[in-house]
């Protein structure tokens, strides 16, 4: 086109909202670039399509010629697994006039959607080595029902007032799972904690623990989740219902319980290392009395090695146990597996689409959480919880040794 014809074309484009495809075969020559990864927003995949094809032929344009410096950006988006939701958009970078850039929707019929999606699938495999579904279609590898069932089983055999007892029993349940299930448990745990952020619940945490901060609130949420599904949902809806369950006042901040999934993965890997490296055989030879005391004794020692440092008290009271603990620490250090979950998590972290679906499932069952601190009064917003706290304080207060006049 001449410069005049090009300006007429730009003027025509300025009046349009849609940019129809002129040559479908030319458009389907597009190629994805690994430096432009597919992005996820909510449950939609968004992809930038580099203009490596003949855009003039594909859309009937006149860009990048000697007579002008105009260009376009092309994007596609669709919902995972729903080809009929596929849409394409064009941003026309107008450098020829002062009218600014133009934005167009590319109208697509069903056949075009299918062919473009097939090309995207082909390019996804060629560039990323995986199908679209493999990259973005998989869910978090554990259901919400499975998550709560693990917690129920852990509580069934634990002293629910003792964070170490609950932590240890949760660990024992998690090491029975596959690494992917452990990851799923951890992801669901993170999401419940993230979505539990009501100022009213913050106030309840302050009553129960005698104060609260952002970190302490996170640790309180660990305790709350471990009370089970029904108690958790009731508390999110009305924190005063916590007065209906036994409460470990001043001790409902269970920080360690937030890391159990990672420890369980490390412990599972370390247990395998002890077996395959010959260390288990050597430990059985040197410490038969210690390892024959109870079933699964080595599994328990793996757990204690991850949670506890060798006790100096044992050095005095039971030297063999102390030496055994030191050897377990040594093997853990040599194996390099103490923080192996961090690498596993980074390599297997679910994509944004899976997180979005998980968040949607959790929000669907969560009660609406008020966000207004201004209307919060400790004594009137939580009458039952406040009274229970007062009774607990009176119970633990030291007895008065003097009568009134003597006092």
Return the pLDDT at 79: 83
Tokens, residue 172: 């024992």
Instruction: Answer yes or no: do 18 and 132 share one domain.
Output: yes
In a domain, residue 266? The reply is no
Return the pLDDT at 406: 45
Instruction: Answer yes or no: do 282 and 325 share one domain.
Output: yes
Per the structure, the count of domains in the chain is: 3
Return the pLDDT at 369: 67
Instruction: Answer yes or no: do 237 and 191 share one domain.
Output: yes
In a domain, residue 406? The reply is no
Instruction: Answer yes or no: do 61 and 205 share one domain.
Output: no
Tokens, residue 97: 């006039």
Instruction: Answer yes or no: do 171 and 84 share one domain.
Output: no
In a domain, residue 205? The reply is yes
Return the pLDDT at 310: 55
CA distance 121 to 33: 13
In a domain, residue 268? The reply is no
CA distance 155 to 247: 15
User: What global pTM score does this model have?
Assistant: 0.71
40: helix, strand or coil: strand
207, 238, 367, 376, 399 from 204: Cα distances, Å = 5, 10, 16, 10, 28
Instruction: Answer yes or no: do 207 and 295 share one domain.
Output: no
Q: Which one of 102, 136, 170 terminates a domain?
A: 136
Return the pLDDT at 407: 39
Instruction: Answer yes or no: do 62 and 110 share one domain.
Output: yes
The pLDDT tens digits along the chain (407 residues) read 788 888 888 888 989 999 999 999 999 999 998 887 777 776 788 999 999 899 999 999 988 666 788 899 999 999 877 899 999 999 998 888 878 899 999 999 999 999 999 999 999 899 888 888 777 767 889 999 999 999 999 999 899 999 999 999 999 999 999 999 999 999 999 999 999 888 889 999 999 999 999 999 999 999 999 999 999 999 999 999 999 999 999 999 999 999 999 999 999 999 999 999 999 999 999 988 888 876 678 898 899 888 876 555 555 567 888 888 899 999 999 999 988 999 999 988 887 778 878 888 899 898 876 655 556 666 678 899 999 999 999 988 765 554 444 43
Return the pLDDT at 391: 93
Dihedral sign from CA coordinates of 86, 102, 62, 22: positive
Instruction: Answer yes or no: do 291 and 241 share one domain.
Output: no
CA distance 122 to 139: 22
Instruction: Answer yes or no: do 161 and 233 share one domain.
Output: yes
Return the pLDDT at 217: 95
Instruction: Answer yes or no: do 91 and 210 share one domain.
Output: no
How many helices (H) and strands (E) are present in the chain, helices listed first? 21, 5
In the beta sheet, which residues pair with residue 93? 71
250: helix, strand or coil: coil
In a domain, residue 63? The reply is yes
Q: Which one of 136, 168, 201 terminates a domain?
A: 136
Instruction: Answer yes or no: do 119 and 161 share one domain.
Output: no
Return the pLDDT at 128: 83
Return the pLDDT at 209: 94
In a domain, residue 62? The reply is yes
In a domain, residue 345? The reply is no
Instruction: Answer yes or no: do 18 and 107 share one domain.
Output: yes
Host domain of residue 28 = 3-136
In a domain, residue 271? The reply is no
CA angle 79, 83, 89 (to 5 degrees): 70
314 exposure class (CB count in 10 Å sphere: 0-12, 13-18, 19+):
middle
CA distance 1 to 4: 8
């Amino acid at each position: 086109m001449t410069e005049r014809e090009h300006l007429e074309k730009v003027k025509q484009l300025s009046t349009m909202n849609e940019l129809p495809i002129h040559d479908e075969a030319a458009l389907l020559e597009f190629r994805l670039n690994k430096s432009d990864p597919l992005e996820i927003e909510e449950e939609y995949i968004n992809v930038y399509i580099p203009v490596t094809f003949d855009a003039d032929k594909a859309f009937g344009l006149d860009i990048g010629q000697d007579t002008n410096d105009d260009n376009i950006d092309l994007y596609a988006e669709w919902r995972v697994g729903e080809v009929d939701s596929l849409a394409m958009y064009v941003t026309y970078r107008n450098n020829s006039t002062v009218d600014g850039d133009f934005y167009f929707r590319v109208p697509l019929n069903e056949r075009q959607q299918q062919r473009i999606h097939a090309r995207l699938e082909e390019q996804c495999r060629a560039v990323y080595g995986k199908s679209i579904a493999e990259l973005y279609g998989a869910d978090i590898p554990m259901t919400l029902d499975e998550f709560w069932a693990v917690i129920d089983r852990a509580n069934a055999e634990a002293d629910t007032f003792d964070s170490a007892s609950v932590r240890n029993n949760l660990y024992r349940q998690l090491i029975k799972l596959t690494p992917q299930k452990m990851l799923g448990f951890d992801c669901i745990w993170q999401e419940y904690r993230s979505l539990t952020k009501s100022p009213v619940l913050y106030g309840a945490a302050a009553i129960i623990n005698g104060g609260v901060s952002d970190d302490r609130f996170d640790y309180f949420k660990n305790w709350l989740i471990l009370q089970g599904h029904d108690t958790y949902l009731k508390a999110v809806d009305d924190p005063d219902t916590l007065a209906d369950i036994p409460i470990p006042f001043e001790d409902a901040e269970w920080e360690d319980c937030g890391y159990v999934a990672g420890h369980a993965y490390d412990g599972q890997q370390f247990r395998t290392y002890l077996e395959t490296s010959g260390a288990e055989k050597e430990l059985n030879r040197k410490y038969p009395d210690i390892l024959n005391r109870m079933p699964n004794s080595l599994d328990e020692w793996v757990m204690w090695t991850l949670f506890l440092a060798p006790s100096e008290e044992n050095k005095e009271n039971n030297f063999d146990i102390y030496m055994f603990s030191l050897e377990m620490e040594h093997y853990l250090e040599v194996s390099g597996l103490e923080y192996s979950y961090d690498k596993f998590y980074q390599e297997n972290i679910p994509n944004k689409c899976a997180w979005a679906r998980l968040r949607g499932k959790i929000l669907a069952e969560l009660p609406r959480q008020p966000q207004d601190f201004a209307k919060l009064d400790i004594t009137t917003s939580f009458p039952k919880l406040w009274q229970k706290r007062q009774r607990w304080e009176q119970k633990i207060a030291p007895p008065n040794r003097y009568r009134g006049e003597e006092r």
